[in-house]
Structure 1
Amino acid sequence: MTTLEEAAFAGDETAFADLAGRHRRELHVHCYRMLASFDDAEDAVQETLLRAWRGRGSFDGRTYFRAWLYRIATNVCLDVARRTTSSGEVAWLQPYPDRMLDEIAPPTDQPDTVAVDRETIELAFLIALQALPARQRAALIARDVLGWSAADTAVLLETSVAAANSALQRARVTMQQRLPARRADWTAQPTAEEREVLDRFIDAHQRCDAAAAIAIAAEELRVSMPPNPARFDGLAAVLPLFERAFGPERDGDWRLVPTWANRLPAAASYLRRPGDTVFRAFKLDVLRIGDGKIVEIVTFGYSRFPAFGLPARLTA
């Protein structure tokens, strides 16, 4: 053990908090992948650190401290997952700000590594993960996201290597069935195409131009609004939403701020209602783009704005 570890496990609470705090952000992302909820992940990390402190006597000094924390965090998430039911859609899905991902994923000269980071934080991947039984989910994250060995994964799940491998194989089959067909086209960094479409999306909103919004929408466009179970599949089904947002009966005027969530382009929308003098936080749209068109919009409420460092209002 290092001197800091020795102090931490000797009962120095400040030293332990310092040691564990170094892994807080990556543990948060791990719990987020397991649970698909930013808030639930925060609660899970808090519980992880509490359990780690209380159970520090079980740390044998031979296991890597980071791996030990991941094991505790995974068990916390498994406990949460057992209390959660799913009906196909992930009602508790929340976006993850790229600015926080950047804190643990600095630029690297290994582009494949960065690409995997985006692939495994993208909303489609997270939604597919939630369709897996919790232990299969944990096995796949350990092996295919964290790059752990079969033996380490078995220890993580407190099972045999054969059982861990079986869970992994079943998980991979399910993920292959549920992930977008063009998953291989996901890139490590935002593309010029994504930036251009995001700019056009913002411009269409601010000019209340329904035709411009339709021009960048794919025929297979899908819109969902978690936790609302409503879903709109196909451009024809979405058209009434555009008319409602941009037409003469709209609630007011729009101002949008570009941002990024889950390595995807996003826009924070502010609405100025008639008679008001400021634009107030309204919604966050996360876009999935393919072939220069928007193929999916996942809309979240403005309660997510603080995590993105976004203000509650904009002046006119």
Structure 2
Amino acid sequence: MDGDGSAFASLFLRHRDRVFVHCLRLVKTSFEAEDATAMVFLEAWRCRSKIRLVNDSMLGWLLITATNVARNKVRSTLRYERLIRKLPQPQEVPDHSDWVVETVDEDRRSQCLQQAYRSLGRRDQEIIALCVLEDMSTAEVSALLGIPTGTVKSRLSRAKQRLAQLMNPQDRFQPEPVPLSPEEEMP
């Protein structure tokens, strides 16, 4: 077998099943047995010049090597499992997907609101800014703008309706326009 690939292939085909079954007795799963079998034949190829034959057969050497490989694999697995058990348990992390969805929705609503607010007329922006955003009373806004309180209330109502329409253009309901009072018609 001194470097002869076809001789090694023949050896592999002749003994692989017996080596696999032997490995399967020594490890937990068939996957581990397959790995061990592959490592046995890798060792056989690597150490081909040092192998001792018994009765002109390599089977004994392969089975002893399989036992050693399987034991090493089991020991390695046990060391790994012990190490894993020593590690601190991961802390439970809350699912942040809901927060991400809310943040994205808030950003969209905020952008939509800003766009709708910018498309309002100057008077509507002014009344929304003072009454809603700055939380001033209608009496304070009335005094500030020099218009009656009733006018402030009607402008605020109309501005809110326009803003709502701009925010939800798909809404089919459109409230009846409120007629302007004489004070509102003046610039």
TM-score interval, normalised by the smaller of the two chains:
0.3 to 0.5
TM-score when scaled to structure 2? 0.39
Which has the larger strand fraction? Answer: 1
Structure number with bigger Rg: 2
TM-score when scaled to structure 1? 0.23
Which has the larger helix fraction? Answer: 2
